[in-house]
Chains A and B, each alone.
Chain A
């Protein structure tokens, strides 16, 4: 006992002695790293804002592109982008939640099926988006005959964001303590009710996080969309029309259109703004639908 006390005291003494230098070094490194990342990000945003702000106007938002996007606005592009994203979310979210529920609640964790699906998802999550684009083109556009369309693009993106969404939801569900399931069973609740009333609300923050990642990936996507939703910058009349997404438009302006830089910067600024607005509403909606249930009166 006295020996142990000695050892503890010696260690505490050592920590105290080395503390000033080590602590300072550690703190400085942490601060510098954070600062470095922040400055990269702010430099990027500042560059985009500084170059793109002049382009932003009411007419830029409400007019169709002219002269290959150099003049006019991006109204048609914004509409196409939102439609593609809507298809993606409407298809991917219910499917992802269903698969995640099966993985976390109905399958044996080390079972063959669960592991096979888990590995498949992890591989899918790491596949470059151009591969999804070529797959989407071959499957949705050609095989299913959907052609270059917003529907093809949205479905392709849905395939792309599914792994992220499923994994996030699954992790959220798994994090819910088992006592909650047992509590539900003890109260005589069905598995569905327990899920709907207790487990999914508990997983809401994880689902939201997955959704935000998915939306971010979908909005930023170029390669997967060039071959599926296409290049047409007309106002889409239906989901079967080809429609150019913002990211594709930005890529085309900066790569194929000489003198398209200004418009590209403007479009990028709008894309960032759109991302913030959509993410905020996604947080709001998932909170309302899922989290609200668990709150006591």
Chain B
């Protein structure tokens, strides 16, 4: 008898939980009257844009901005299809994407990184190409110690990979990689844990990790040091823009946000994410 009372109490509790969930769902319709923007796209840009969006929300009451990730291609597709109000693209728009308007919010340089203990101080463009295509497989061929080179490449679909391939005029099929990784921090972790590795990651991320004790070294490119400063002043060759894109000229709330994201008011946020603020 006692047990049944217990059961009934528990059932009531569960039923109440279910009812609450249902009511919560139904009640949404009633107060969805706020202004809302949806932003989707590059996962590299998402943390930055989410921070900008938060600051924008606090300055504009009744505005809600939802940031979703999924990659640059998704950013383009969603903005074009109208699924999102603004797309995030961590590269320059290509020829077929000129129907969209891009707005520069930050710069991101890419640097070739090797392990800190690696004696190699610089690699030429040709040497990097030969290493990535498997023609050079030992560090001693490029002035280092005798030891196998572990080539770290990015996974298909990453904009960093596209940028890297375009810059070195390579096709992904030519690349002979031992390790395929996803995002920047994973690249830093892989190279710092493997004395024979070579990889490429965002300069902002690499510079921060190197200053915080990660065992990596940023190699200069074409004689120019891989620093955020050289990305900002435009001298570092391997860099990419972080854009937000809109279908046509931004209007209303969309325009307000684009103006805010490209203004001086977010410079500190750009730096906080280890990107390089554009010269304004």
Interface residues of A (CB under 8 A from B): 67-69, 86-87, 90, 142, 148, 151, 226-227, 230-234, 238-240, 242, 252, 254-261, 285, 288-289, 292-293, 295
Contacts and interface: CB of A to CB of B under 8 A. Distances in A.
B84 to A, nearest CB: 10
A239 B68 contact: no
25 contacts: A68-B47, A68-B48, A68-B50, A90-B21, A226-B70, A231-B67, A232-B66, A238-B25, A240-B25, A240-B32, A252-B47, A254-B185, A255-B43, A256-B184, A257-B47, A258-B184, A258-B204, A258-B209, A258-B273, A259-B208, A259-B209, A259-B212, A285-B10, A288-B7, A293-B7
A256 B64 CA distance: 23
The 7 closest A-B pairs by CB, nearest first: A68-B47, A255-B183, A258-B205, A240-B28, A238-B28, A258-B208, A292-B3
Interface in B161-209: 182-186, 202, 204-205, 208-209
B187 to A, nearest CB: 10
Interface in B197-225: 202, 204-205, 208-209, 212
Given A256-B46, A293-B3, A86 B21 contact: yes
A295 B7 CA distance: 13
Looking at chain B's contact residues, the main secondary structure is: helix
Given A258-B185, A295-B3, A242 B68 contact: yes
A252 B67 CA distance: 13
Given A67-B272, A231-B46, A256-B46, A239 B21 contact: yes
A226 B46 CA distance: 12
A134 B38 CA distance: 19
Nearest to B67: A231
Contacts of A255: 43, 182-186
B69 A231 contact: yes
B209 A242 contact: no
A142 B83 CA distance: 9
A225 B196 CA distance: 36
B3 A90 contact: no
A196 to B, nearest CB: 11
A87 B27 CA distance: 16
B177 to A, nearest CB: 19
A238 B22 CA distance: 10
Contacts of B204: 258
A32 to B, nearest CB: 28
A256 B88 CA distance: 14
B24 interface: yes
A239 B251 CA distance: 30
A257 B186 CA distance: 11
A148 B68 contact: yes
B6 A292 contact: yes
Given A67-B272, A86-B21, A257-B273, 15 more contacts: A68-B272, A90-B21, A151-B25, A226-B69, A226-B70, A231-B68, A232-B68, A238-B24, A239-B25, A257-B47, A258-B204, A258-B208, A285-B10, A288-B10, A292-B6
A69 B50 CA distance: 11
Contacts of A232: 50, 66-68
B135 to A, nearest CB: 31
B274 interface: yes
A96 to B, nearest CB: 15
A115 B1 CA distance: 41
